[in-house]
Structures are given as structure tokens and as C-alpha cells.
Amino acid sequence: MTAQEAVNVYRMARFGNNDGLKKLLSDPSARDRAGLYDINATDDAGATALIYAARAGYVGVIKQLLAHGASATKEGYGGLAPLHHALIHLREPACHALLEAGADPNQADSGGHTSLHFAAQVGALNVLITLLERGGDAKQQSTNKTTPLHVAAQTGADAIVLRLLEAGADPNQADSGGHTALSIARRMGYSSIVALLEEHQK
């Protein structure tokens, strides 16, 4: 695959040109030249083609790239994997497609944040449930010892707080600043979350 074709892969993934991408990746002559290009390579912006597709939520493109060897766990800038990008941009179908392809629910970015942290941040309850079902660790801490429960308490997501507690999250776990999910919820004035957390302290 030539350098120009490599650029086209990124562009097609970014703008959802699945037909063009399929034609390019299925071209026998391009396959013969594949040694010149890694489907998992990052561009100058530090993103893979799959990251672009995940950010935009192009499920067809995601599946096309995966079928041609793209890695569901290959990190880009900031240690962010395709699943992280899909979550940050609230691309729920893309999240499920990546998980089906083997994305790791416990893979962390450079700050130690996992997909559960991001799901709690954006309020993606359905994806969070799937992450937990696929082995996501509700107790996993970031580099500053923040857990997904801390994040959910900060954002006021009652249903997510409950799911994390049911999955074993510790309401008494303190982050590096000494803050627990309960102290955060109290500071934010989320009375319903305070009640949930207090109930699970008993």
C-alpha cells in the first residue's frame, strides 16, 4: 500500500467512506504492497484509522477495518484506545462493535482511566452494563486513585452509581486527595446518591 493509499485509509475512516475503504483494502495489488503500511499505524495526529472510525461512530467502517487486521486495543495519543474514543463521543453502537471484537474493558489510558471511568463520565449506562458483564473492574483506580464510582458521584448519575455498587465498587475508597464517592456526592448536593452510598456502607 502506497503512502497516498495509507492517507486515504485515514480519510475514509474519518469520513465514513465504507465502500471506498472496502475497495481499497480488498484490492489485491494493495494487499501485495501491504508491507509498506501497517493498518494499526498512527498518523501525525497520533490516531489510527480505527480510532477515527470509533470517534465518528461508523460501525460499518469499524467492522471493515477489524476484518482487515485493525486492532481493537491499539492505543493512540494519550494512551486512548478506540473504545475510549467511542465512549467519549457517545457512540454506543461503536462501543458494542468494539467489545464484540475483543476490546478490553479494563484497558487504561495514560492517566489510568478505563472505559468504566469514561462511561460514568458521559452517562453511558447501557455500555457500562455491558462493560461490567464483560469483566470490567468497578474498583479499578486511575493514577490519582479515582474510581468509576468517584466519577459517577461527581456527575450525579444515580443509575450508574447503583450499578457500580452492585458490581462491588467501594463507597469508602478515597482518591489521592482523600475524597470518597460519598464526600463528593455530599459536596455536589446529590441527596439520592448520598442515600445510595450510605446504604451500601452498612
Place of cell 468509576: 148
Reported as a single tens digit per residue, the pLDDT across 178-195 is 999 999 999 999 999 999
Query: Is pLDDT of 31 > 60?
Result: no
Q: Which has the minimum average pLDDT: 11-20, 26-35, 140-149?
A: 26-35
Residue finishing a domain among 19, 50, 83: 83
Domain that holds residue 139: 105-202
H helix intervals, 69-180:
82-88, 92-100, 115-122, 125-133, 148-155, 158-166
In CATH, what number is assigned to the domain containing residue 34?
1.25.40.20
Query: Is pLDDT of 12 > 80?
Result: yes
- Note whether 120 and 36 are same-domain residues: no
134 belongs to a structural domain? yes
d(CA 166, CA 119): 16
Query: Quick check: pTM over 0.75?
Result: yes
d(CA 102, CA 182): 34
- Note whether 188 and 129 are same-domain residues: yes
pLDDT higher at 41 or 76: 76
- Note whether 62 and 125 are same-domain residues: no
- Note whether 130 and 196 are same-domain residues: yes
* DSSP for residue 140: -
Query: Is pLDDT of 29 > 80?
Result: no
d(CA 33, CA 156): 51
- Note whether 48 and 111 are same-domain residues: no
153 belongs to a structural domain? yes
Reported as a single tens digit per residue, the pLDDT across 118-144 is 999 999 999 999 999 999 999 999 999
- Note whether 190 and 129 are same-domain residues: yes
The count of structural domains within the chain is 2
